[in-house]
Amino acid sequence: MKKKRSTVTGITVEYEPLWRRMLNCWPLYLLLVPAIVYYILICYVPIAGNVLAFKDYSFRLGIWGSPWVGMRYFEMFFNSYDCWRLILNTLHIGFIKCILEFPFAIILALLLNEIRAPKFKRVTQTITYLPHFLSSVIIVTMMQRILAPNTGVLNQVIAGLGGDGSTFWLMQASAFHEILFGMDIWRNIGWDSIIYLAAISSVDQELYEAASMDGCNRLGQVWHVTLPGIRPTIGLLFIMGVGGLLSSGFEQMWLLRTPGNMSVADTLDVYVVRVGLQQAQFGYASAIGLIQGLVGLFLVVTTNALSKKFTEVGLW
């Protein structure tokens, strides 16, 4: 055991060296190893592949043996006809996913927190987060059946009310964003609310009692106690969410695309897969993916700096 004198209190405290403390908790660090290996192999090692954005890739020569082309692929993308259409579509969908959908999980968590019947609360929470475990293929297939012309549930209801029940909703570009928004909310709202419920449970109950004694009703307690208590959690999740503003997700967008909604459903994620895998333009696709990553990094750093300046909440 080593001894260290506190510069604040002047008290001498005995402490163990870091290696001994780690040795004492070796089972916990052993459990951490798979997560570390996963992030190294899946998240960090592939970063080296970004070099393809600056090379004319050849299977025969390999990544490192292929000739350098400098910034050619970046110039090709920004000079292409599809560039700004893809960026605007991606930003529009990213805004829906990252900004518009963000408050709904908080609202659901606040509503669930107000339920006083434990069994009803558990059942409700389970029902709301079960859709998260369904794959995009299943969810989109369900949407196709619900929105199908003539035979779909929505069109049958419209026809029953005297309207036109033959509309092919997935072919309507004007209805695409509303369909995407509704599908995303149904799938993710319950799962995303779990983090907020955990944060709400850590709020000191004495604050509610004090607010009640001061005359606050339930709505006032939510506004003046609950929301300020989970503000750090809201801030951190919002900062991380903003990083995905230029990423719409591939599976969902690929499955929802139809010839009718292609003008608004064609995004950068879909374009990268199309030119990278279908057309084998690996360097060009890598350049576009690198742009997305750098923009996401810039947005996270900028949002974090602004958040720390105005709210004192930040990732670092």
CATH code of the domain covering residue 108: 1.10.3720.10
134 falls within a domain: yes
Summarised one tens digit per residue, pLDDT across range 100-120 is: 889 999 999 999 988 888 899
What pLDDT, on the 0 to 100 scale, is given for residue 246? 83
Nearest-angstrom CA–CA distance, 21 and 152: 62
- Regions of the chain with pLDDT less than 50: 8
Partner residues linked to 15 by β-bridges: 2
What pLDDT, on the 0 to 100 scale, is given for residue 11? 60
What pLDDT, on the 0 to 100 scale, is given for residue 4? 55
What pLDDT, on the 0 to 100 scale, is given for residue 35? 92
Which tokens hold the place of 150? 């003539």
What pLDDT, on the 0 to 100 scale, is given for residue 40? 92
188 falls within a domain: yes
169 falls within a domain: yes
Nearest-angstrom CA–CA distance, 29 and 125: 32
Cα-Cα-Cα-Cα dihedral sign, residues 74, 75, 81, 85: positive
Domain that holds residue 158: 79-310
293 falls within a domain: yes
35 falls within a domain: no
What pLDDT, on the 0 to 100 scale, is given for residue 249? 80
54 falls within a domain: no
68 falls within a domain: no
Nearest-angstrom CA–CA distance, 114 and 43: 39
What pLDDT, on the 0 to 100 scale, is given for residue 33? 92
37 falls within a domain: no
Domain count, the chain: 1
